[in-house]
Amino acid sequence: MVNSPSPLDLWRVQLELWHLSIEAQMVVTMRLLGMAGVWSVTPSETERMFGEKLPAFTNAAFAASRSAWKGERPDQILVAAIRPIRGKTYANSRRLSRRGLRY
């Protein structure tokens, strides 16, 4: 029988989802500003934007599957699925925010 998640476990899942949503929105905003010529982005940013999605979501699916096969709780499965995607959103938000506005 799987243990019930504690309130802190549920809070952790909510925090991971919150971080993912904020970072993803930051990345989308900076990339759109880059396409408009306002934010400084590399010429290969558009290709990177499409090329990183499939590996990130594939890794997330495999991580969630591994977690489920180990018999982990649903909150642990969700965190395992979020981590690979958060890794990309975090790296992208840091990289793009360092570039700054185009002057």
Tell me the pLDDT of the chain (103 aa) as tens digits. Answer: 568 999 999 999 999 999 999 999 999 999 999 999 999 999 999 999 999 999 999 999 999 999 999 999 999 999 999 999 999 999 999 999 999 999 8
> Strand, coil or helix: what is 57?
helix
At 2 the pLDDT is 64
Farthest-apart Cα atoms in the chain, separation: 59
At 27 the pLDDT is 98
Q: How far is CA 27 from CA 20, 94, 102, in A?
A: 11, 9, 16
At 18, list the tokens.
């919150």
Cβ contact 79:16 at 8 Å: yes
pTM for this entry: 0.88
At 20, list the tokens.
């993912």
Amino acid (1-letter code) at residue 16: E
